[in-house]
Structure formats: structure tokens, C-alpha cells
Amino acid sequence: MLRHVTRKAAGWLLMIVVATNATYFLASWFLDPRANFRELRPVRTEEQIDRALAPYHLDPRVPLVHRWWEWLTSVVRHFDWGSSPTGVAVNDEIGHRALVSAELVVIATVLSVLLGVALGVYTASRQYGWADRLSQVVSVLVLNIPTSVAALAVVSVAIWLNQHAGLHFLYVAGENSPNVEGLLPTIGDRLLHLILPTLTLTLMGYVGHHLTQRSLLLDTLHADYVRTARATGLTRARAIRRHALRTALIPTATSVAFSIPALFTGAVITETIFGWNGMGRYFLQTIAKNDVHGTVATAAFAAALTAVGAILADIATVFLDPRVRVS
Amino acid sequence: MATTPETDAPAHRLSRLYLRRFLRNRLAVTGVALLVLLVLFSVCGGLLTPYTYADTDFTALTRPPDATHWFGTNQGGNDVYASAVHGLRRSLVIAVSVSALTVVVAAVIGTGAAYLGGRIERMTLAVLHFLLVVPSFLILALVSHRLAGDWRVLIVVLTVFGWMSTARVIWSVSTSLRERDYVRAAEFMGVSAPRIVRRHLIPNLGSLLIVHLTLGVVATVLSETALSFLGFGVQTPDVSLGTMLADGAGTVTSAPWLFAFPAGLVVLLTVSMTLIGDGLRDALDPTSVTGAAGGRR
Amino acid sequence: MTRTTTLPHPAPRPAATTPVLSVRDLRISFPSEAGTVEAVRGVSFDLLPGRTLGIVGESGSGKSATAMGVMGLLPPTADVTGQVLLNGRDLVGLDDKALSAVRGADLGMIFQDPLSALTPIFSVGRQLSDALRVHQSLTKRAAWDRAVELLDLVGIPDPRGRARAFPHEFSGGMRQRVVIALAIANRPSVLIADEPTTALDVTVQAQILDVLRVARRETGAALVLITHDLGVVAGHADDIAVMYAGRTVERAGVAELFDRPVMPYTAGLLAAVPTVDGGERRPLVPIGGEPPALVDPPPGCAFADRCRVAADACRTTDPALRDIPGHGQAACLRAGEIADGTLDPAGPAPDGTPGPVTGPAAPGEVVLRVEDLVKTFPVTRGGVLKRRVGTVHAVNGVSFELRAGETLGLVGESGSGKTTTLLEILRLKRPEGGRIEIAGTEVAGAGAEVQKLRREVQIVLQDPLGALDPRLPVHHLLAEPLQAVGADRAAVRARVPELLRLVGLDPAVSDRFPAALSGGQRQRVGIARALATEPKLLVLDEPLSALDVSVQAGVINLLARLRRELSLATLVVAHDLGVVRHLADRVAVMYLGQLVETGPTEALFADPRHPYTRALLSAVPVPDPVRERARERLVLAGEQPGATRPPEGCVFVDRCPLYRHAGAELRRRCRTERPAPTAVDGAPGHRHACHAA
């Protein structure tokens, strides 16, 4: 069992390494760090610009492979993800932001899995009931709404609620308020700020889990072994809970890993709309500033999130499916 | 009666059966009606207004909808109605082309992997799974940042990063098709490989491709709006629904019409395509209960 | 252990005991798009304690729906009326909670497909102890111990160790034993077995039927045995109910029913079933037509359209089940006449009764010659980087020849390599080992030659629905092989109706889609397609296993006629020995990739020499209670092992009853020396590969 998980984890680690390095080359081809200096006055020559970039291993005159090797060794040896073209260390920028984004993505993933699976199970066992039909309509509609539209709809509703219902805890901008002192107030403040962005991301994420869990469970509901279980004297509800549900959850565990990249995309948009200083916005800024190292660090972060999700999913699979343990 | 039917007659009747089943689905028909209206709007809507999306009316900045500017104007005095017509057309063209290209690429890769099998199949699947879990949106943003501006480039970029999930479905269906008894029977009868593909594989994959074509439009509209919203997609002065959403996002409370009209159009477009896609999926399913033409005697 | 047993005789009918299970006028209908399907239209029966009631019927007769109705396991959309009295208590209309107190405790059920009947993610021990703990308050420990006992009872070797194994680690037969253990766990008073052996090989079927008998003896339960196989009920049931189109059409004790069926349908069924034993091979008499649709069933007797003795009244009045003096009950207006012998249910003999099934075929030229054929498959492990960890010897040195106008039946259980042999011949490529010669040409895999050979060899596949592209109408399906050999449109147009008539179909079906045809019609289309290019060799892969008995007989007769008329060489692969007996001139028995016995059909069936052939034949139930219960049966122990590492000597050595009693020298030979085919004295062409026979 441990071997199984370790082997899977090694595979995901390899995925992170390949994805991050591929992003490095793509970023080096598609981003031009010199652009940051061309607008500056007094006008610098190309040579001057290249020289300015050299200390950060961004000098275009150095062969790409050499630059890559420098970057790679510094990442591996010192966990130093390099600097922006203007010399700001990437590590200093991402520490805080990674936490902010991870908070958002992890909470939203957990909530959307819980909500989606619960809804899927509930509606599958009451197929064609009114709750099933209603949630089906809602989910299909949500599936068709762009994240930006959903986020702004959430913002509008929150503002309306704040104005008309006299609520004051729905924050539509930023990840915390200035001038909050003390540990508990800080945590409380952050949590309040989390509500709306998390709500938006959860809304975007739960739909897939709802629809797939529903059809997975519907498939297993009619399986022969559920009938056998009922023949031994279990009621329909108990037979479903004990025999069908657990089998139907196994593929869901795997699909959680595949849902994280989409959720990260949602996070980029959500952070933009809610004015959060997370990795998503950082990514947009680094691209705008032609910051190769910053971009690569964001990609590595996203890959790491996916891998963590995938490894957790593998562990969940082992617990759900005892066959993995024996083979 | 019928002794020697015309060679094309049964196929003709089969498509009539599909049509009948599709038309019986009220939601799908609603989807088609909606889509037709949207296409008409994007093609002919411009004839109803003297403005174009590029015109600026400096006498009317950030005006709410009225008799002259039906959807109001934005901060720069652009007519929102004219922009919406143009933006919808731009988004539609992008979505339809990307979706079509994606299906072609996915079909080639998916059936190719299934047909060739062995090591090539395993490698293709490994790459495919890798691309599925890698945050491709980041790479998409990275690549289109440099190349975008031109919507044609956007089409290429979206295709390159959008074929994986469709390819996986096509791969798995083609592998199971190859194992079908009637395909094996045709092989045993000495029917040539291209003929098997034409006679048995394509028709049986065809419905899948059509369904993915419509659902691909939805996915592309969502990707395009997301990219354009973040400034990586269509660039000013060109207008798409995504850029309009980005423009309107800042003034949701002060000038809601700037956001509401493009948002409404996007949702109408995606919902109509989803309804059509679901309807097609049901209508083209040969295992469907109503599938038996004629029924048992 | 190999046992030689005989079956017990039917229990004498006890005088006036109260039935444990009594079904009264059960009616079940389902809504469907085409209308309401009346799956069960008034079924009544009584089950006395300790007795076995066999319910016989073809697919769609409503026998499974009846079982599910009794168990209360029908989908919620089903509409159920009537009474199901279990120990006097009516189960119809009880809610799920009340029913689940009964299910498993008083009613146990055994299902058809053991492969899907067990939850894949729980060990069998866990599933058994869960089933025990539903109705009994046992500690986990005690339940587990009891589960192990139950596994032992149903004959699972090493029950303590195997209790921890998961369903996928068991073979089909072993899984069915687990399902039986589940059903008897709480000592129910009634067991319902729905086609318990249909998915299993015939020697395993014999074992499972034995287990079922042991289970019944241990629990004292009464059994409802639902099956399409008349042989199984002949050997195991005390009373029989015959179902047709949702109704019980005849009910009688097993001896009376087989001795003198009074319902024409029962009589027709008995005349249509192919058997393995007993003197002359008689021609089979098919029942024409198909069962009626159960949406809007006809007003009169549902069988009237297929009945040879139907009167006008039969088409308007639906006869009720009524007592026939000295017999049982039947639902037939003319049952009285049939019972007192004044009417033959088979009707007046039709003109031109089918002649003898197989004439002594004039030996033609050799069409197919297979010499020492070998085929192996690698066993691999790992995902992206596959590595070979073993070899399956699927076909291991098989030789036979087949002449024009002759039919060779290749029989064996699943895993014996018979289908692989057939596919190797059809591949038309040079085999891995040995040689194949078709119509005088050695198969070598050269392009042009393959194209020429394709014309000569055609196949009919097992599942007629799967083998026909659902998107093509019959005309196009039949045109396909013709176009493949380059026929033009006019030729195709002329040939298609000709082919349809050849297989006994109306040319009007040519514009129908496969879904609109019945099972028998589809298989006829499959045969017509195979005959399109006028092949010399026709290969049939389980051509009848997807068809009902009453339809099967018609196809068997069709194949016999075609072979006579077209002087085809046919190679038939089948697991049903009765079918093979009626189709083949010669039979080859395969076990673990090797031929263990070959010979002329009658000689081999009358005097089997190889211990495996004997066991195989004795395992096939005979649809005659007297003979079935009188004959000695040889029940083989164990199951056919995988062919990954076949024994060095005789492949059958591990299960061989002769080996067990053999002397040391013979044992050594069996272990180390592969037996060569030996001719049987005085029986030309009959050969077996056994040291001990």
C-alpha cells in the first residue's frame, strides 16, 4: 500500500519537474525581459540592457541552456527561484502570495468536492425528483457561466445585500482590512474576506463533481451486486450506502486531481476581481512585466498544488478501494 | 414490397429518424431557436443601428440605454449595441473555428493512437494525461500574451491547448469500436481497412464528433472570455464578448449595462449550445430505447 | 475429488401439507416508451416445504420477473398485483423495510451472473459476515467464523484463507459458490435460483447443481429453480411450471410432464431441444414463429399463432390454467384431447418431414488441414514499460482435417483454446507454429493470396446483434462481403434476395435494420452474409448460444440443409454438446489447448474413451427425468487451470479420475509423457490421447 502511494507520488513529482522546466523554456521564448528597460529614460542601448539583465541570468546573449542550468541549480541547491528583470527576488514575492492563494484554492476544492459529491449522491438516489431536476438545471446553468460573470454577479449581490440588508461582513475587495490588530481579530477578518471569493470558486468547481458523481452513482445503483446486497436483507437505502456509494466514489477521488488546474484558472480571475494579492494576480503581473522567473515560479506552484491534490486523491483511493492494498 | 432499395435510401431514413428524435426534444429545439436568433443578431444586428463598434460618440459618454443607444454607451462613447453585435460575431467565429479544429486534431490523434496501438499509443496517452493535469491555462496565457492581438492567432493557440480531453474520449471510443464484433466480422470478410473506417468507424464515431463539436463551442467561449478578460485574448481596438466583460467589470454598480449585455449574450450562447449538444447526444445514440427503427413485429 | 453419483428420484408428493410459498395470480407490468409491458400476466404456483419447483421458459417468458416479484426486488416503476404468500403472509405491497426483514432471512436468492453479483471492493468473508449480521446479532468474530464455515460448506478450498480474498480473485464457479453461501447464510425456508448455472461451463454447472443440493439438504429449504434448460429441471426438480409470454401454461410433476406434456408449447419445446444421449439422433422439430410482444398481447392464447393444433376459439379466448385428470394443470383449450391421446400436439405431420439430420456425407476433397498448430500469448505486467512475465499456451499442437460436405464440431470449455484455434485459421497468416492449409493452399500470409483465400473462408459469429452494424440495413450488410470481393451493384442487387431466400427469410426484410429483426432472423442474416461469397469453408463460432431453444432448432435444421445443398465444409465451435451432436459429423474435444479425443459423432457420443470426454458428456443434463436420474454421472473436481504452465505430460492429469486409481508406472507416464493420439479398435477415425483409457 505504502509502495503504491510512493510510486504514484514519485510520478507526480516527475510531473512537477517536467512541467516547471517546460514552462521555463516557453517563458524564455515568449517573454522578453528587455522590454522593461526600453521605456526607461534616458534611453539605454541594447548592450546596456543586456548587461543589466546579466546578474539575474536573463541576459539574452547567454545561450538559453546555460541560463536554464544556472536557474535550475539555484532552485535545486538553494530553493532560490531567481529574480525579476528589475532585480526583485521571486522568493520574497511568492512566500506570502502562495499562502493566500493556497488558502483560497484548498478551501474551495474541499468545499466544491463536498458540495458536489453530496449533491450528486442526493440527486442520484432521488432521480427525477424535483430536487434532482432543480439542481440539474442550476448546475447546467452554472456550468455555462464564465467565471468572470459569476464572480461579478456574486459581487453585485453582496453589494446589494450590504446596502439593503444592512450587512457589513461581505467584503468585495482585498484579502484583509488594514489596521486590524491582534491574532483573533486578524484571523476573523481574513475569514470574512475569504467568504465571497471562496463562494465564487466553489460555485465554479462543484458543478463538475455534482454531474459526474450523479451519473457514476446512477450506474452503480443498478449494478447486480447492489441487488445481491438487497437480497441478503439490506434495505435499498442501506444497500446503496454500503455497496454502491463506496464503489462510485473511487473515480471521483481521481477526478479531484484533474479538477485543480481548472480551479487555479478560476483563482486567477477571482483574485483579479476581488483584488487579492495572490499567485493568480502575481502571474498576470509577471507576464505583463516579462518576468521569466516569476512566471515559472507560479507555474511550479500550480503544478505543486495539482500534485498535492493528486497524491491526496491516491491516498483516498487506497482507503476506498481495498483491492489496491492487496495487489 | 421493397425488393431492392436504393443504395442511399436507408441512410436517408436513418437521418430522418435522428431528426425526428431531435425535434421531439423541446429543450434542444429551444436551443436551436436561441442559436439562430443569436447568429441572426451577430450577422444582421449591425444593420439596425447607424453606429459601428469603433465609432465614438463624444456627446454620449457612459449613457444608460435609451432610444439612440439601445444598450447604452461606454466610457469612450462607443455604442454598446454595436459593440455587442461585433463582439458576439468575433466570439462566435473564434469558438466555432476552434471547436472544429479541435475536433479534427482530436479525431486524428485519438483514432491514430487507437489504430496504431502499442508503444505509440502508450506515449500519446502519457503526453495527453500530462497536458491534462498541467495548468495549461498558464501556458496558454504565456503564449498568447506574446502572439495575441490577432484573433486568428488566438484560434491557433486555443486549439493547440484544447484538444486533449476530446482526444481522450475519441481514443477510448475508437478502441472499443475496434473490438466490436461487426468490425471484426468485416475484417474477416476481407473488407479493406479504409472501407471499414468509412463504413463502420466514422459513422459510429460521427455522432460523438458532432456532440463534441457543439460542446467544444461552449468550452471555447468560456476560455476565450477568460483569456480576453485577463487581457490575453482579443486586444483593443478589436472587441469580443470577453473584452466587453473586462471593460464592464469595473463599473458593475455604477454602469451595470456595460457588463449586463455582454454577460447575457455569453450565457445565452453557451446555454443554447449546451442544449443543442445534449439533444444531439440523445438523438444520435443508437442504443437509445427509441432507437429501433420500425420496431419488432 | 471426482465423484460418481446418481441423482435422487423426485420426492413423493407429501399429502396435504401447507405450502411455504404460494403465489396467486401474480401480475407485473412495466411502463416503457412503446407502452405498458405486461411481463407477468397471472402466475400461480405452490411450493411445498423441502421440494423443488422448476420454472422453465424461454427469454422474455417472465420467469425472472416472477422471481424478482417474489423477492420484492423489482424497480419502483413496476406495477405488481396478486399475492405472494410466504408462510401465509402476503409480501405484495409491503414496504422496503418490512420486505428486507424477510429477504435473506426467509427468502434467499441466487443470481445468474456470478461475475457481477458480488461487490468488488469487499472480501467475500466480509460480505458473508455482513449478510449474517443483518439478521442475527453476532459478534464480528463469530460472524466471520460462521462465514468460513459457510465457505467450507459450499466447497471453497482453504476457506479460512480464501475468506480474505476479493471476488476478482475467484473463478466464475467459485463466485457462484459464494453467492449460494450468501443465500443460505440465514437458513431461509425458500431459496430462489434464477438461472444459477447459465453463465458457467458444463462441468462446473454439474458441480454447482451439486452444491445447490447440499445447500438445500443443510437448510431444509424449498427451492424455486428458474432455468431455460429442460435437462437441469429434469434432474433436479420435483414439480415443473412452464411459462410462456408471462403466464404459466402447464404445471405438473416432473415425471408426468416429461412423459406426456399436454400443452402444445411444452411438447414443442421438448421436441426442439437437442440432446446428447439416447439411441438415434432424431431430427429436431422447431416451433415456427416468435413469442408475441408483451405490449398489447393478443386477446386469445399467446401461443395460438405458433401452435400446430390451434382451433379458432384459441385466438379469441385466453384459456385459464385448469386441472387435467391424472396430470397436473394446463392452460390449453385442447388439453383434454391431448391428455386422453386423441390429439397429437405436434399436429398432422407436415409434408416433407425433415430427413435424417446428417446423411453419410460423401467424403469430398480436403478443404481445411491443420497440422500441429501452436499459438501462445505473452503474459505482461506493468503500464508504460511492459515486461513479459509468462506465456499462455492457448493452442498447443492441434491437428485435424475437414472435407467438403463435412462438419467438424470443436468442443471444450472456456479456456480450452477452441476459439483461438478458429481465429488462427481465420487470420489467414502463417501460424506461430505448425501449418494451415485451406483448399489446397498453404496459408503463408502473402497479400494477393490472402485476398483469394478470404473468399473461401467465412465466419458466423456468436452474438448476431453484435456482429451486425446497427447503422446498416440488411441489404447493406449482405452487400458488404460482395463488395469486398469486387461485385458490382447489379450483381449485389441480384444476389441479396437470393441469399435471403436461401436462409429462409422473406426478401422484404432487406431494408430493415438489425434492431428491428428477431434473434433468429438476425442469425439467419449472419449466415446469409457468410454465404454471400460462396465460400468453401464456413466457420461457426457458438452460432446458437444466443438463441432460445425453440428458435435454435430451426437454425440447426437450416445449417444441415445448407451443408447438404452447398456441400460446404463447416467448422463449428460450441460448448453445447447437444447442439454439436446435431450439427457435426465428427467431433474433436479440446482441453487446455490440446485435442484429447476425436471421432465420428455417434461413435464418440456412444462410446467416449478419454476420461475428460466422459466427464463432459456425463455432465450434460438430459431432458428426461427417468434417464437423467438413472444414469451414472461423473462429476469432475476442480476447474480447468490456466494455460500459463501446462503440465509436462498429459494436460488433464490434475483432474483425471483414471490417474487417481492408476499404478505407479502409469502415473509416471501420465506425469511426464504427452499421450499421442491412439486409434480405437474397430472404430475408424475414433482416436483418443490417453495412456490409461
DSSP C14: P
Residue B21 lies in a domain: no
CA terminus-to-terminus distance, chain A: 8
Per residue in C250-275, pLDDT (tens digit) is: 999 999 899 888 899 999 888 888 88
What's the gap in Å between the CA of C147 and the closest CA on chain A?
14
Query: Residue A141 pairs with which residues in a beta bridge?
Result: none
Q: Which of B223, C260, C528, C512 is nearest to A147 (CA)?
A: B223
Q: What is the distance between the alpha carbons of residues B263 and B249, in angstroms, rounded to a whole number?
A: 10
Q: How far is C346 from C354, CA to CA, in rounded Å? A: 14
C382: left (phi over 0), alpha (psi -120 to 50) or beta: left
Q: Assess whether pLDDT exceeds 60 at residue B10.
A: no
C100 vs A contacts (CB less than 8 Å): 230, 233-235, 238
Quick one: closest CA in C to A249, which residue?
A: C121
Note the helical H segments in chain B. 9-24, 26-44, 80-116, 118-133, 136-147, 151-160, 164-178, 181-188, 193-196, 202-229, 241-249, 257-283
| Set of cell numbers at residue A309 | 491534490
Cα angle, residue C36 at apex, residues C30 and C40 outer, rounded to 5°:
55
Biggest distance spanned by C-alpha atoms of chain B? 77
Percent of chain C with pLDDT over 90: 35
Query: CA–CA distance from A55 to each of A41, A70, B82 (Å)?
Result: 21, 11, 51
Mean pLDDT of B182-196: 84
Rg (CA), chain C: 26
Domains of chain A: 90-289 (1.10.3720.10)
Is the pLDDT at B2 greater than 50, yes or no?
Answer: no
Grid coordinates 432521488 are at which residue? Answer: A126
CB hemisphere CA count around A233 (13 angstroms): 25
Regions of chain A where pLDDT drops below 70: 325-327
Search chain A and give the residue with CA nearest B224: A146
Rounded Cα gap, residues C71 and C444, in angstroms? 58
Distance between CA atoms of residues C489 and C480, nearest Å = 11
Q: Alpha-carbon distance C290 to C552, whole Å?
A: 11
**CB neighbourhood size of C75 (10 A):** 8
Range 222-261 of B in CB contact (< 8 A) with A: 222, 225-226, 229-232, 242, 245-246, 249, 252-253, 256, 259
* Same-fold call for C43-237 versus C366-605: yes
Helices (H), C77-137: 96-102, 124-135
Under an 8 A CB cutoff, do A228 and C111 touch?
yes
Whether B153 and B166 have beta carbons less than 8 Å apart is answered as: no
Angstrom distance (rounded) from CA C410 to CA C643: 18
* Mean pLDDT of the region C200-223: 89
Q: In this structure, is residue B253 part of a structural domain?
A: yes
What residues have CB less than 8 Å from C364, skipping those under 6 apart? Answer: C403, C404, C405, C406, C567, C569
The residue ranking higher by pLDDT, C1 or C227, is C227
Closest to C584 in 3D by CA, of C527, C544, C535, C632: C544
Give the burial class of B28: count Cβ atoms within 10 A of its Cβ; 0-12 exposed, 13-18 middle, 19 or more buried: buried
Q: What's residue C309's pLDDT?
A: 86
pLDDT of residue B178: 81
Residue from A26, A30, A143, A148 to probe the interface with B (highest B Cβ count within 10 Å): A148
User: For chain C, how many residues are written?
Assistant: 693
Residues in B closer than 8 angstroms to C480, CB to CB, are: 186, 189, 191, 199
Q: What is the tens place of the pLDDT at every residue in A94-115?
A: 888 888 888 888 899 999 999 9
> Any idea what DSSP says for residue A171?
-
Closest CA to A1 of A321, A249, A250: A321
In a domain, residue B291? The reply is no
Helix (H, G, I), strand (E, B) or coil at C503: coil
pLDDT value of position C399:
92
Do residues A294 and A92 make contact, with C-beta atoms less than 8 angstroms apart? no
Output phi, psi for C372, to 5 deg.
Answer: 55, 40
Between A90-104, B134-148, C234-248, C571-585, the lowest mean confidence (pLDDT) is in B134-148
The shortest CB-CB distance from C119 to any of A231, A238, A243 is to A243
What's the gap in Å between the CA of A25 and the closest CA on chain B?
Answer: 11
CB of B180 within 8 Å of any CB in chain C?
yes
For range B7-22, the mean pLDDT: 67
Neighbours of chain C (3+ CB pairs under 8 A): A, B
Ranges A308-312, B107-111, C11-15, C454-458: which has the least confidence = C11-15
Q: Are B163 and B109 in contact (CB under 8 A)?
A: yes
What is the pLDDT, as a whole number, of residue A187? 82
pTM reported for the whole predicted model: 0.84
C190/C224 Cα distance (integer angstroms) = 8
Instruction: Grade residue C279 by pLDDT with cuts at 50, 70 and 90.
Output: low
Note whether residue B297 is domain-resident: no
Can you give the pLDDT at residue A85?
Answer: 82
Return mean pLDDT, chain B.
80
Quick one: pLDDT band at residue B7, thresholds 50, 70, 90? very low
C400 pLDDT more than 90? yes
pLDDT value for B293: 33
Residue C388 has a pLDDT of: 75
At C225 the three-state DSSP class reads strand
For C290, the 3-state DSSP assignment is coil
B133 vs chain A: nearest CA distance in angstroms?
6
Confidence of residue B34 (pLDDT cuts 50, 70, 90): very high
Residue B291's pLDDT is: 33
The reply to whether B200 touches chain C by the CB within 8 Å rule is: yes
The answer to whether the CB of B250 falls within 8 A of the CB of A155 is no
pLDDT at B45: 81
Residue C182's pLDDT band, with cuts at 50, 70 and 90, is: very high
CATH number of the domain encompassing residue B230: 1.10.3720.10
Nearest CA distance, B264 vs chain A (angstrom): 9
pLDDT at B287 over 60: no
- Which H helix or E strand runs over C439? none
C324 contacts C335 by C-beta, under 8 angstroms = yes
Phi-psi region of C307 (alpha: psi -120 to 50; beta: other; left: phi over 0): beta
d(CA A263, CA A305): 10
Asked if residue C517 lies in contact with residue C485, where contact means CB atoms within 8 angstroms, the answer is no
Look-up of cell digits 431492392: B4
pLDDT of residue A225: 94
Gap from B133 CA to chain C (nearest CA, Å): 18
Class of the CATH-defined domain C366-605: alpha beta
Which residues make beta-bridge pairs with C253? Answer: C239
pLDDT at B230 over 90: no
Task: Identify the pLDDT of residue C281.
Answer: 65
H or E element that contains C600: strand C594-600
* Cα dihedral B17, B23, B26, B30 in deg (nearest 10): 140
Q: Is the pLDDT of residue B1 over 50?
A: no
Distance CA B135, CA B128 (A): 13
Domain ranges of chain C: 43-237, 255-274+295-350, 366-605
Reported as a single tens digit per residue, the pLDDT across C609-628 is 999 999 888 888 888 888 88
| Beta strands per DSSP E along C292-421 | 322-323, 329-330, 366-381, 387-403, 407-411
Which residues of chain C neighbour A224 with C-beta distances below 8 Å?
111, 113, 116-117
- pLDDT of the residue at C83: 93
- Burial (CB count <10 Å: 0-12, 13-18, 19+), residue A226: buried
Mutant choice from B1, B24, B181, B205 vs C, greatest count of C C-beta within 10 A: B181
SS3 C406: coil
Q: Determine whether domain C43-237 maps to CATH 3.40.50.300.
A: yes
Domain that holds residue B179: 46-282
Measured between CB atoms, does B130 come within 8 Å of chain A? yes
DSSP C145-167: HHHHHHHHHTT-SSHHHHTTS-G
Task: State residue B6's pLDDT score.
Answer: 39
- Residue type (1 letter), C51: R
Tens of pLDDT, residue by residue over A267-299, are 888 888 888 888 988 988 898 888 889 999 998
How many structural domains compose chain B?
1
Q: Is C635 helix (H, G, I), strand (E, B) or coil?
A: strand
Q: C262 with C327: CB under 8 angstroms?
A: yes
pLDDT at residue B292 is higher than 60 = no
C-chain CB neighbours of A229 within 8 Å are 119
Predicted local confidence at residue B194, as pLDDT: 79
Q: What is the predicted pLDDT for the residue at B5? A: 39
Cβ–Cβ < 8 Å for C195, C114: no
What's the DSSP call for residue C256? H
The better pLDDT of the pair C125, B257 is held by C125
- Tell me, yes or no, whether B105 lies in a domain: yes
pLDDT more than 70, % of chain C: 94
Residue C189: pLDDT band with limits 50, 70, 90: very high
Highest mean pLDDT among A92-101, B239-248, C525-534: C525-534
Cα–Cα distance for residue pair A91/A144, rounded to 1 Å: 37
**pLDDT over threshold 70, residue B9:** no
CA dihedral sign of residues C91, C94, C96, C97: negative
Q: Which residue of A has its CA nearest to B130?
A: A15
Compute the Cα dihedral for A59, A60, A64, A66 and give only its sign.
Answer: negative
- For C223, the 3-state DSSP assignment is strand
Q: Give the dihedral sign, CA B236/B238/B241/B247.
A: positive
Q: Is the pLDDT of residue B103 over 80?
A: yes
Condensed to tens digits (0 to 9), the pLDDT of residues C345-393 reads 776 655 444 444 455 456 678 899 999 999 988 887 765 556 777 788 8
DSSP C60-113: TSSHHHHHHHHHT-S-TT-EEEEEEEETTEE-TT--HHHHHHHBTTTEEEE-S-
Calculate mean pLDDT across residues C558-574. Answer: 88
Q: Which three cell numbers stand for residue C27?
A: 401480475
Measure the CA–CA gap between C200 and C223, rounded to whole angstroms.
20
Does residue B118 fall inside a structural domain? yes
Do residues B39 and B269 touch, judged by C-beta distance below 8 A? Answer: no
What grid cell was written down for B224? 476565450
B19: number of Cβ within 10 Å: 11
Q: Is the ipTM of this complex over 0.95?
A: no
Whether residue C299 is preceded by a cis peptide bond, meaning omega within 30 degrees of 0, is no
Is pLDDT at B271 greater than 70 in this prediction? yes
Mean pLDDT, all residues of chain C: 86
What cell was used for C90? 402476503
pLDDT in tens, C60-73: 889 999 999 999 99
Question: What value does the mean pLDDT take over residues B43-71?
Answer: 78
User: Please, are residues B39 and B88 in contact by the beta-carbon 8 Å criterion?
Assistant: no
Q: Given phi > 0 = left and psi -120 to 50 = alpha, else beta, which region is A82?
A: left
3-state secondary structure of C115: coil
